[in-house]
Amino acid sequence: MNDERRIRVTGTGLLRLKSDLCRVNLTLRGLEPAYSDALNRASRDSAALVEAIAALGFTREDLKTLDFSVDAEYESVQDDKGHWRQEFKGYRFTQALKLEFPVDNVLLGRTLAALAAAPVDPEFQLSYALRDPEGAKSALLEAAVEDARRKAGILAAAAGVKLGALLQVDYSMAEPPLETPRMAKAMLARNSADESIRMDFQPDDIRAQDTVTLVWAIEA
């Protein structure tokens, strides 16, 4: 069967989903003179965060590492003769972590207060996501296929032909983003006086989109 007897239609699935998962992204950084010192400090700092949130019922497994690196850091310096050279400053570690829990402004406020009271100063970003992302992805695909089928039916009826067998399904397998945009980075300054920080956030809905292309045979 040649391409003249086929119809190719791309369907789009669009969903607006209510966020039900709070995601706190944390970044620890530090500079140490030796590689082993950087590793040891990174371990101590992450352990300090775990200890800070333990009283809230979180465990070490709840604070997940997303990325970790240790890199040699150099600085350009100028000598007395005006020549520039690279001077070794030490080893900088960067550790990205995340903590997730159901959307709860009271728990969020207590969590941020506990982290702020820890003997480290992490950067943090706040975003909202879904506890069941796989279910949302399945719903998006179903909506995209149904959209393609509807469009194909309209086109076939307008052309005075009938849809035949489904011949091909093309899907990019790209992961649709199922998270609200992260809020701007901020530093959690140490403050042991407050047991909770008042939060009154209403997370935006997650707007997700996915596409799929279907090919049908055309019957006269």
- Same-domain check for residues 30 and 94: yes
User: For the purposes of burial, counting CB atoms within 10 Å of the CB of 12, is it exposed (0-12), middle (13-18) or buried (19 or more)?
Assistant: middle
Three-state secondary-structure class, residue 44: helix
In-domain check, residue 191: no
Contacts of 206 (CB under 8 A, 6+ apart): 16, 17, 18, 19, 128, 129, 130, 136, 178, 179, 180
Residue 120 lies in domain: 21-75+87-129
Q: Look up residue 164 and give its two tokens.
A: 């035949």
- Tens of pLDDT along the chain (220 residues) come to 455 689 999 999 999 989 999 999 999 999 999 999 999 999 999 999 999 999 899 999 999 999 999 999 999 998 888 888 899 999 999 999 999 999 999 999 999 899 988 999 899 899 999 999 899 999 999 999 999 999 999 999 999 999 999 999 999 877 777 787 776 555 555 554 466 677 777 888 888 899 999 999 998 7
Q: Look up residue 158 and give its two tokens.
A: 């307008």
What Rg value do the Cα atoms of the chain yield, rounded? 26
In-domain check, residue 157: yes
- What are the DSSP E strand ranges found in 171-205? 186-187
Indicate the number of domains in the chain.
2
Of 170, 164, 165, whose CA–CA distance to 141 is shortest? 170
In-domain check, residue 45: yes
Number of residues that this document lists for the chain: 220
The Cα 213–Cα 168 span in angstroms is 8
**CATH number for the domain including 32?**
3.30.70.2970
- Owner of token pair 């030796």: 34
Instruction: Note the pLDDT of residue 1.
Output: 45
The Cα 170–Cα 11 span in angstroms is 11
- Same-domain check for residues 49 and 62: yes
Instruction: Note the pLDDT of residue 13.
Output: 94
**CATH number for the domain including 204?**
3.30.110.170
In-domain check, residue 82: no
- What are the DSSP E strand ranges found in the chain? 6-17, 21-32, 63-78, 84-102, 123-129, 162-170, 186-187, 206-219
- pTM, entire model: 0.74
- Same-domain check for residues 120 and 32: yes
- Same-domain check for residues 63 and 160: no
- Same-domain check for residues 104 and 94: yes
Of 37, 195, 192, whose CA–CA distance to 111 is shortest? 195
Instruction: Note the pLDDT of residue 183.
Output: 65
- Same-domain check for residues 101 and 111: yes
- Owner of token pair 């949130």: 53
Please report how many Cα atoms fall inside a 13 Å half-sphere around the Cα of residue 41, on the Cβ side: 20
In-domain check, residue 211: yes
- Same-domain check for residues 144 and 99: no
Instruction: Note the pLDDT of residue 202.
Output: 80
Residues linked to residue 66 through DSSP beta bridges, in sequence order:
none
Three-state secondary-structure class, residue 195: coil
In-domain check, residue 64: yes
- Same-domain check for residues 35 and 123: yes
Instruction: Note the pLDDT of residue 216.
Output: 95
